[in-house]
Amino acid sequence: MSIKPTFCLLFVILATGCVQTRQSEPKRTAVEQLLLSRAADHALSVAELAPLRERKVYVDPQYFDSEDAKYVIGTVRDAISQAGGLLVDKPEDAELIAEPRSGALSIDSGDSLVGLPQLPFPIPFTGTIQSPEVPFYKAQRQFSVAKIAMLVLDAKTRKHVFSTGVLLGKSHHHYYTFLGFFRWISTDLPAKQ
């Protein structure tokens, strides 16, 4: 075996190497944050809040448990305001108390690859390097689902006034690669279209 083909193969492997870019400084990427907020927006856009018109409403956030609670509570407040509700900052100033809750606010993701994945190659005396991924077809899919509901009570008597029922919202962002060169995105995120 000649040393030239071995050297050429080693050079090709090392020269093709991989570049890894950090996608996000916070805990989640911008796409993840946009997926969650978009799904919440979709869920609350179908809420029927006409009974809150011209009524003083306090939004009680204590039953909404999610990493993105502040955004969703803000969106609930916005939806109530757009429906004609009069937002107040204290429950004692309210005629009605709205209690939003979350049944789901998360992302499912999946990847598929037809081609050669990254493979580790040991290099004597230096360690291991990763070969580059060679995709024939690659899909990276992210789906976000928001399940939100809201109970509205009379502030004084605590009697049930109405419930929104389950409000569902979805969002998606898919990234496809074909033959390693042709790339396209399917998304409902306006910031990524």
| 182 within a domain of the structure (yes/no) | yes
Residue 163's contacts (CB-CB under 8 Å, 6 or more residues apart) are 149, 150, 151, 152
Give 24-78 pLDDT, tens digit per residue.
Answer: 567 788 889 999 999 999 999 999 999 999 999 999 999 999 888 999 999 999 9
Return the SS3 of 163: strand
| 134 within a domain of the structure (yes/no) | yes
| 8 within a domain of the structure (yes/no) | no
Residue 135's contacts (CB-CB under 8 Å, 6 or more residues apart) are 113, 114, 115, 116, 177, 179, 180
Predicted TM-score (pTM) of the model is 0.76
Give 154-182 pLDDT, tens digit per residue.
Answer: 999 999 999 999 999 999 999 898 987 88
| 2 within a domain of the structure (yes/no) | no
Segment 175-178 long-range contacts (CB within 8 Å, at least 24 positions apart) = 175/139, 175/140, 175/141, 176/137, 176/138, 176/139, 176/140, 177/135, 177/137, 177/138, 177/139, 178/136, 178/137
| 3 within a domain of the structure (yes/no) | no
Residue 103's contacts (CB-CB under 8 Å, 6 or more residues apart) are 147, 148, 149, 166
How many separate domains does the chain show?
A: 1
| Distance in angstroms between the alpha carbons of the first and the last residue of the chain | 53
Which domain does 98 fall in, by range?
Answer: 26-192
| 21 within a domain of the structure (yes/no) | no
| 126 within a domain of the structure (yes/no) | yes
| 187 within a domain of the structure (yes/no) | yes
Q: How many CA atoms lie within 13 A of 96 on its CB side?
A: 23
Residue 165 sits in a domain of what CATH number? 3.40.50
